[in-house]
Each structure stands twice: as C-alpha cells, then as structure tokens.
Structure 1
Amino acid sequence: MRLICYTLHDQKPLIRPAPVERDWMDHSPEAFAYRCLPLDIANAHGWEVLCSAGFDATWDGGTAADAITIAADAPPHLLPVSHFGSGVLTFHLHGLFRTEPAVQLWVAGSPNRIKDGIQPLAAVVETDWAPYTFTMNWRFTRPGRVRFEQGEPFCFFFPLRLDLIEQVHPVFMPIEQDAATAAAYRAWVAARNGFNAALQEEGSAARAEKWQKGYFRGRMPDGAAGGAGHRTRLRLASFQDASGAGGGPDAPDQADEPGRGTAGG
C-alpha cells in the first residue's frame, strides 16, 4: 500500500514512524507499563508529525480567535494558529496526503501521549480523493498556558478503510454458545486468580515471574500457540523521496521480550 505526502514548500513535514516509548511509561516502576502489549502496539501504530519549532500557547478562556496567543522565536509559518476560536489551536501540516482508493487516514494525537491542559481532536480524512490539505487541531481543556517543544509530535495518523467498519455486524452472544472459547476463558480466569494469589507468597514462582506473559507471547492458557497474526512489534517504513531507492524502517529494532522502552506487554 502506498501513502504519499505531496510536499507544498521547500521544507518537508517532519514525519517519523511512531515510537513505542512514552515518558510516563519509562518512569513507571520497573517500566511495567511496557508489559501491556496492546498499549505498546497502539503507540507504534502510525506515523507522527513533529513540531518544527518550540512555542508557548496561552488561552484566556474566551471564544474569539484572539483568545489564544502564541509566543515563540520562530517564523510564523512554523507555528500553529488560532483559527477557529473556542480554545482550538490549529496546526498546518504543510503537505497534501494521498492514499489508495477506498483508504482513508485516521488523524489524531499520539496514543497514550498525555499533555496537561490541552486535548488532541481526532478526525477521519478521505485522502483517497480530496485535493485538500487538512489541519491537526487541539482544544484547551482549561484557560492557561501549554508548551510544545521542537521535535514534539503534534499529529499521529494511520490508514484505515471505512467500508470495512460498515460491513461489521456486531452481536451479543452468551459465551456458553462457544464451548472452546468458554473453556479457554475459564482456564485463564483460574490461572489468573492463582497467579495473583501466589504473588502474595514470599519466594513463589509468581513473584519470580512478576507477571503473566501468555498474551505477550501469543499463547493460549494451556500453552498452545494462539493467533497466527500475533505481533509483539510493528516495523513501519519512514517517508522516502519518491525518486529515491526507498527502504525499510529506520526506527531502532524493538526487542521481542518486555522491558524498558521495548514492545513489552
């Protein structure tokens, strides 16, 4: 699948494959937050656009566009603007994105990247046909000042297909109607309860193991292999010049075992 960013100016948008790492996860005790594989995969499931310059933005609580002021020693074209009012800060991406037919872009803030005082707004853009740029918008959650540093991500995107979600037929079903799934679930509950109880015992195997790794390793409760598509990491390609030879992802390899700054969970 091809994803194009048509550059509109001499300076390209600063785009990178999204990393797994988050500061708050690094600082969790023993970096335990990285043991949550679903969270790790979400962190890395797309590309981030980075701020070209650092700046301070302050909202006085008003609804007019001039209720937000931006302070920075940088050219205006590198900075966001207050365009919509109502405490909304608007970033221009300086690129026009094009996806393949029937493929759109989910555009939002980076998953699990927390910023006090301001919230990224999510959008779905029909980049398979529209010759229009889009903006990334954040809304202040209260009056005050926020700081974005140079190199800090302000936008996160990945491709999706709207026709797929419209084909979904969601249903409720008693788990007893699926005997295999019910049995596996009961085995997992028993193992989970036993493991948590053993964590309270000095010198137990559970304490040595620290946490159950079945999901991370893609194993069923009985140790059998789980889904064939189980992933512990993602390898996204970096944006390359169309005239170049291309290439694979340039992000550092992420270990298959959990730990600080790796795709563990």
Structure 2
Amino acid sequence: MADTPKITAYEHYDMPSSLRPGTQRRDWMDDTREKFAYRCLPLTIANSHGWEVIGDTTFRAVWNGKPEPSGVQFDIKTQGQIMPSSHFGDGIITFTMPYLFRTDENIGLWVSGAPNQVKHGIQPLTGLVETDWSPMNFTMNWKITQPHVPVAFKAGEPVCFFFPLDRTLVDRIEPVIRPLSDNPELAAKNAEWSKSRANFLKQIKVEGSAESQMGWQKDYHKGRFPPEADKATNHYSKIKAKAFKRPE
C-alpha cells in the first residue's frame, strides 16, 4: 500500500494554532434566498477543499493609489501575530505565514484566498508553491482594487487558503477537442438531461406542480442521472479535510 500523503506545517514560533479545515459556510451564501447558493455542490466542495490560515489581527487599510510601499496605510485595531504589511507596493497587502510547509515529492500547495469568500475592495492573489523542496517561506498577498477605499480584516477570518496539487499534472495531460457526436452514449445522456432540465424549469413555475414542491433538481447533488440510475461510485457530496494535529 502506498504511503499516506502528508502535509507538515513547521511552526516558526509558538502560537495558538491558526490552521483549520476549510468550511462550507459563507455569509453571502447564508443570505441568499432560501440559502439557494448551497444547492450548488461545486461551490460547497470548493469551499472546504483545503485548509485556512486564520488571521488574528483586526485592521483597516487604505491605499492612496501610488506604487510605493508607503502608499498603504494601516489602522491596527487589535494586534496579533499574523500582521499585515506593505512590502511590495502597488496596493498589495502581505501576510507572512507563521509556518514553513512541507509536502511529498511533486506535490505543491495552491495558495490563495478562501474560495467564494467575497471581500469588498480587495482581491486575493494566487500562487502555486513548490513546498516539496523549498526551504523558503511564502507570503499571502492581497491586492487592493481601488485607491482611497478602506478595506478591513477581522481577527478570526481566513487570510489564506491552500490545498495540495500534483504540480506535474498540467504538463502530463493531453488536452483534446472533439465533437460531442463522437461519443453517442454521452451525447444521448446530455440530450436527455437538457430536455429534463428545460421541462423542470417550465414546470417549476406551475403552482402545485411536483417540480414546484421539489424546489430544485438534485441530479448532480446525488451523483446520478437519470434519477433512477445508480449513484456514481466516485461522487462526493461533501469533503472534510483533516485537522492539523501536533504529535503526542
């Protein structure tokens, strides 16, 4: 049996753990009508597909639009150990990670902001870090999108999100384009689903119909189509990353 893949987070200094598995919940998804955003399984899977680094500093920042690092001014409300800085300039806020991560050979970490986490006035920058060999720290960076508009972070919210990725995969994959008609079985299933979807969208508007009582189609969520088909053996309706643990 192959060895279990591992990620090790080496601490630079003693601190309360700021690592946690990603969560499905998002405030804006909670606020959607009848929480309909949670019906999109790809969204909720992505939200929890990795780990978060939780910030412990509450602050506001404003960028004056100039390229120098001094162009970002910080108003620190409560100070923690993961502090923001303006290192690169151009309205970029930098968080130095308190961990040095190590992964298995050819496995890197995809590093960005928490998926589908919307923040006003600022955008997470994304990187793929070669954590299988590098002894160097990486930083998490966010780009302020508009000068003179304050942005804010609160202690307890994620400042970074990461998940492992085989960094050789893109080089090895052979991308191909073919007409759907080349796969008659798949084309027939797609046509059947399209017809079913169009009928569902029509009938859901009819008061008292079975579709209106159902509220939404659950074919993808259940991992099968048509509804009476067997469930796909490789379907995930939820994912739960394990928590980082200290050795006993």
Class of the TM-score when normalised by the shorter of the 2 chains = over 0.9
Secondary structure of residue in 2 paired with 1:49? strand
Residues 184 and 85 of structure 1: CA distance in aligned 2, closer, same or farther (over 3 Å): same
Which of 10, 15, 22 is the matching residue for 1:11?
Answer: 15
- Correspondence 1:71 to 2:71: no
Within a 5 Å distance, the mapping from 1:252-263 to structure 2 comes to none
CA contact (8 A) 2:93 2:141 kept: yes
2:93 matched to 1:85?
A: no
C-alpha distance 184-200 of structure 1, shift in aligned 2 (>3 A):
same
Residue-by-residue CA offset, 1:163-202 (whole Å, 9 max, x unaligned): 1121111111111111110110011011001111101211
Among 183, 187, 190, the alignment partner of 1:182 is 187
Q: Which has the higher contact order (CA 8 A, sep 6+)?
A: 1
Asked if the contact 1:46/1:158 (under 8 Å) is kept, the reply is yes
Q: Which runs of 5 or more residues in structure 2 are unaligned? A: none
Identity of aligned residues (%): 42
Q: Does structure 2 conserve the Cα–Cα contact (< 8 Å) formed by 1:55 and 1:79?
A: no
Q: What is the 5 A alignment of 1:1-265?
A: 1-75=5-79, 77-143=81-147, 144-221=149-226, 223-241=228-246, 243-244=247-248
Cα offset, 1:13, TM superposition: 5.0
Partner Cα distance (1:122, 1:173) in 2: 31
Q: Which runs of 4+ in 1 moved over 6 A?
A: none
TM-score, normalised via structure 2 length: 0.95
Give how far 1:161 is off: 0.7
Distance 2:37 2:82 in 1: 34
Q: Alignment RMSD, CA only?
A: 1.2
Call closer, same or farther: CA 1:76–1:83 in 2, change over 3 Å. farther
How far apart are 1:223 and its partner, in Å? 2.3
Report the residue type matching 2:212 in the other structure. R
Tell me, yes or no, if the aligned pair for 1:101 and 1:128 is still in contact at 8 Å. yes
- TM-score scaled to structure 1, two decimals? 0.89
Kindly indicate whether the alpha-carbon contact (under 8 Å) linking 2:13 and 2:98 is maintained by their aligned counterparts in 1. yes
Q: 1:255 maps to which residue?
A: none
Q: Within 1, Cα distance between the matches of 2:231 and 2:178?
A: 22
* Partner deviation per Cα, 1:60-82 (whole Å, 9 max, x = no partner): 11110011011114447431100
What secondary structure sits across from 1:72 in the alignment?
Answer: strand
Identify if the C-alpha distance between structure 1 residues 107 and 13 changes in structure 2 by more than 3 Å, giving closer, same or farther: farther
Secondary structure, counterpart of 1:33 in structure 2: helix
